[in-house]
Amino acid sequence: MTDDTIQEYINILKNPKYKVIIYNTEKNRITRDMLTITLQDQISIIRELTVQDFVRNKENPQSDERKNEVGLVWFFKKRAFDKDFYIKTKVIDNHEIIVAMSCHIDNIEFEDDYDLYLDNDSMIYG
């Protein structure tokens, strides 16, 4: 994967005409709770990605293997709010949508108090 190709993808992520949708997953929600950040903060993290944030130690991008899905899923890691974030995105061009399946603290399950936040999240969303 060339830096130019990665930059082309990042340019789409930065394009304000593309709406960013962050999945309402447990890890994404708990990240917001743990860091007292907002959904808009997570969107800003995605909009601020750089070529240096691209994960190069795995097959990246990868085909979307979810049922009835097509396209490529791209993986990034970025430092924000004094934490490393794991970010997994996909662009749906024909709808001008950026889908973020993941935008959470990397290895969040090893964070202090994760179980407490998990219990609280389960009570609310369980």
Predicted confidence (pLDDT) per residue in 59-84, tens digit: 999 988 876 677 899 999 999 999 99
Q: In whole angstroms, what is the distance from residue 52 CA to residue 103 CA?
A: 17
Does the model's pTM come out above 0.85? Answer: yes
CB atoms within 10 A of CB 121: 15
- Give the highest mean pLDDT range of 70-74, 105-109, 111-115: 105-109
Q: Which residues of 8-35 are buried (b: 16+ CB within 10 A; e: fewer)?
A: ebbeebeeeebebebeeebbbbbbbebb
Percentage of the chain surpassing pLDDT 90?
81
- pLDDT score at 66: 74
pLDDT in tens, 22-56: 999 999 999 999 999 999 999 999 999 999 999 99
Q: In whole angstroms, what is the distance from residue 100 CA to residue 24 CA?
A: 10
According to DSSP, the β-strands at 97-105 and 19-22 are parallel
